[in-house]
């Protein structure tokens, strides 16, 4: 790549644990409550980067 940084478009709950310093249970609770928006693909949950940014900004818009 020529100077472009690749930013992740989606994260798995496991990838968010160390990034947010939250437990697996807390992340799952955020997903269940709808405060952290996700996309389900098969059995996997994928969290869009925008949903993570909204959570960190204190907004829970869908």
Q: How far apart are CA 48 and CA 45, in angstroms?
A: 10
Query: Taking the complete model, does pTM exceed 0.85, yes or no?
Result: no
Report yes or no on 4 lying in a domain: no
Report yes or no on 35 lying in a domain: yes
Report yes or no on 5 lying in a domain: no
Number of domains composing the chain: 1
Q: What is the pLDDT of residues 9-50, one digit of tens each?
A: 999 999 999 999 999 999 999 999 999 999 999 999 999 999
Q: How far apart are CA 45 and CA 12, in angstroms?
A: 6
User: What backbone phi and psi angles, to 5 degrees, belong to 41?
Assistant: -125, 105
What is the domain extent for residue 40? 10-57
The domain spanning residue 18 has which CATH number? Answer: 1.10.10
Report yes or no on 62 lying in a domain: no
Report yes or no on 1 lying in a domain: no
Measured from the Cβ of residue 36, the count of other Cβ atoms closer than 10 Å reads: 23
Q: How far apart are CA 31 and CA 59, in angstroms?
A: 14
Report yes or no on 23 lying in a domain: yes
């Amino acid at each position: 790549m020529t100077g472009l940084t690749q930013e992740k478009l989606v994260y798995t709950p496991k990838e968010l644990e160390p990034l947010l310093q939250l437990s697996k249970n807390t992340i799952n609770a955020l997903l269940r409550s709808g405060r952290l928006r996700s996309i389900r693909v098969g059995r996997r949950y994928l969290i869009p980067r925008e949903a993570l940014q909204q959570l960190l900004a204190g907004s829970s818009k869908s």
